[in-house]
Amino acid sequence: AQSVTQLGSHVSVSEGALVLLRCNYSSSVPPYLFWYVQYPNQGLQLLLKYTTGATLVKGINGFEAEFKKSETSFHLTKPSAHMSDAAEYFCAVSDGLRGGSQGNLIFGKGTKLSVKP
């Protein structure tokens, strides 16, 4: 069965500092990996995704993530935090219907990012 672990339910950084949000996954087949962001009282917005190919994935708003198969990780980074980055971030995994399984998204518990001025 697939699963996602996000280390740290709350992360606080200063404006301009590096943002690092950690995600580890478990999957029996090559995974599709996603990062979504959720602002208060809103739905989920896709930041970036990895399916196949280049392991360093660039997304919107300056975010990027690197797929490391050996570490089963897909950590999200941004070189310089902005106040507008304050939100909750979710890592998700899907097997994309391979291996006869379901293909629905399995989410981590989320990480709330606070950005201090």
Partner 1 sequence: KAGVTQTPRYLIKTRGQQVTLSCSPISGHRSVSWYQQTPGQGLQFLFEYFSETQRNKGNFPGRFSGRQFSNSRSEMNVSTLELGDSALYLCASSGQGSTDTQYFGPGTRLTVL
Both tokens of 117, joined, read: 């001025």
Binding residue for partner 1 (CB under 8 A) from 34, 50, 63, 67? 34
Cα–Cα nearest to 38, from 75, 74, 89: 89
Binding residue for partner 1 (CB under 8 A) from 7, 107, 112, 114? 107
Q: Are 23 and 42 spatial neighbours (Cβ–Cβ below 8 Å)?
A: no
Segment interacting with partner 1 (CB under 8 A) among 13-21, 53-61, 65-73, 92-100: 92-100
Q: CB count, 10 Å around CB of 81? A: 22
Which residues of this protein are in contact with partner 1, per CB under 8 A? 32, 34, 36, 41-46, 49, 90, 92, 94, 96-97, 102-110
